[in-house]
Amino acid sequence: MPSDTARRRCAVVGLGARARLFTEALAGPYADRVDLVGFCDVNPHRMAVHNDWIGASVPAYAAEDFTEMLRRERVDLVVVCTVDRTHDHYIVEALEAGCDVVTEKPMTTDADRARRILDARRRSGREVRVAFNYRYNPVHCAVREAIAAGEIGEVGSVHFEWLLDLRHGADYFRRWHREKVNSGGLMVHKATHHFDLVNWWLGTEPETVYAQGGLFFYGDEAGRRRGLARDYTRAHGAASAQDDPFAVRLADSPLLTALYLEAEAADGYRRDQNVFGPGVTIEDDMAVLVRYASGATLTYHLTAYAPWEGYRVSFNGSEGRLELLVEESTWTRSEVRVQGDTAVLHGDAVVDTAGRTELTLRRFWEPPREIKVHTGEGGHGGGDVRMLADLFGEPEADPLGRAADEIAGARSLVTGLAANRSFESGGPVRTRDLLHI
């Protein structure tokens, strides 16, 4: 996308932090291919901030005027960056109005919403792309290439551990993500990236999921038990938040002040809630076992309270093993500051992409061989810029099949939904009982 050289007329819905990737790209490097013709959000202040950032005056529409915006601005491409629970509404409306859609992950948050999207996509004949930027990370492409080339033979199993550090992990417990109804929990909101990678790497789909998960570290009860609780609801203006290493101080960041603190009057959205306060309905420690159509199995663990951030993935194959280690941060200190749009725990080594990346091929009867990969610049290991080029740039061949459609969106989602169901039932869940894809 775009599939021809004609200019596209693009609208962005949901003008929060993530939307900046798109508004700046569309107003900047892709301005010669795409016209940015509309913003839509429940909060007019945030739309004004985006216009300020890009030095434009893109027409701003209230959420209830979304369809009117599509008509009046003759939109043919919609980028959806709203709160997860609202993605389906905008995707379906846009498809029915004849637009193509790029949606942020997760595609949606439950099976009914996913069905509505799949139906609308089929009915409309328009295109849906899910912004799975991690597929574009060069090291993830190298994994896909190695597996597809048969370097380790047939894959029998995958072992995958993802750690979110105290800086990034805590951030999911400060804002709307902390309620499962908004985000689907981290099995949907976060792990959708990881379940998608496994589907894509192995070229298969999940069939059976068994999972255990809980709130171990964050939340009011765990906070009291661990002596970490503080008596504030939101950090801004609270004396007891001053010495809390988990409090984010919005006023310290011009970006967070503009985007959230000064925008609160319009919608009451508070970005700095107490991670040990009441109302958390998502898990922070999750273990998942998946069986795929190919016969392969996955053991997966997601931890949202780790001292460093990154992941280890190992693939066991019939001809050897492939091992990936990525360190996105190496440690965290207990002094909170803010940088950009996320809270950062002070630490010399706390950087997004400068940690260690090692990809090692261990074929049977051969010494280990390191696969050298040029790790990318920019967010998500270089995935963001490459994804933007694929979405909005000159069309290019995609031999690795990085472009993710609504089927890929649904296949990654269903693993997380099945895990959530398994948390509740305590038993294994067949994905086809939740969603027929």
Residues that bind ligand NAD (CB under 6 A): 13-19, 41-43, 46, 63, 81-84, 86, 104-105, 131, 133, 189, 380
Considering only CA atoms, which of 285, 314, 275, 92 is closest in space to residue 191? 285
> In the complex, what is the shortest distance from the CB of residue 382 to ligand NAD, in angstroms, rounded to a whole number?
13
> In the complex, what is the shortest distance from the CB of residue 226 to ligand NAD, in angstroms, rounded to a whole number?
27
Q: Which is nearer to ligand NAD, 21 or 296 (CB)?
A: 21
Is residue 75 a contact partner of residue 69, using CB atoms and an 8 Å limit? Answer: yes
Q: Which is nearer to ligand NAD, 42 or 322 (CB)?
A: 42
Measured distance CA(381)–CA(402) in Å, rounded: 15
> In the complex, what is the shortest distance from the CB of residue 412 to ligand NAD, in angstroms, rounded to a whole number?
12
Q: Which is nearer to ligand NAD, 104 or 205 (CB)?
A: 104
Q: Which is nearer to ligand NAD, 208 or 353 (CB)?
A: 353
> In the complex, what is the shortest distance from the CB of residue 40 to ligand NAD, in angstroms, rounded to a whole number?
6
Residue of minimal Cβ distance to ligand NAD: 16
For residues 71-86, one letter each, b for 16 or more C-beta atoms within 10 angstroms of the residue's C-beta and e for the rest, the string is eebebbbbbbbbbbbb
The SS3 call for residue 325 is: strand
> In the complex, what is the shortest distance from the CB of residue 319 to ligand NAD, in angstroms, rounded to a whole number?
33
Considering only CA atoms, which of 313, 298, 389 is closest in space to residue 358? 313
Q: Which is nearer to ligand NAD, 267 or 366 (CB)?
A: 267
> In the complex, what is the shortest distance from the CB of residue 368 to ligand NAD, in angstroms, rounded to a whole number?
31
Q: Which is nearer to ligand NAD, 1 or 371 (CB)?
A: 1
DSSP alpha helix (H) spans, 97-190: 111-124, 138-148, 168-171, 180-183, 186-189
Is residue 189 a contact partner of residue 162, using CB atoms and an 8 Å limit? Answer: no
Crossing angle of the two packed helices 44-54 and 19-27, in degrees rounded to 10? 40
DSSP for residue 375: P
Is residue 342 a contact partner of residue 360, using CB atoms and an 8 Å limit? Answer: no
> In the complex, what is the shortest distance from the CB of residue 101 to ligand NAD, in angstroms, rounded to a whole number?
13
Q: Which is nearer to ligand NAD, 84 or 244 (CB)?
A: 84
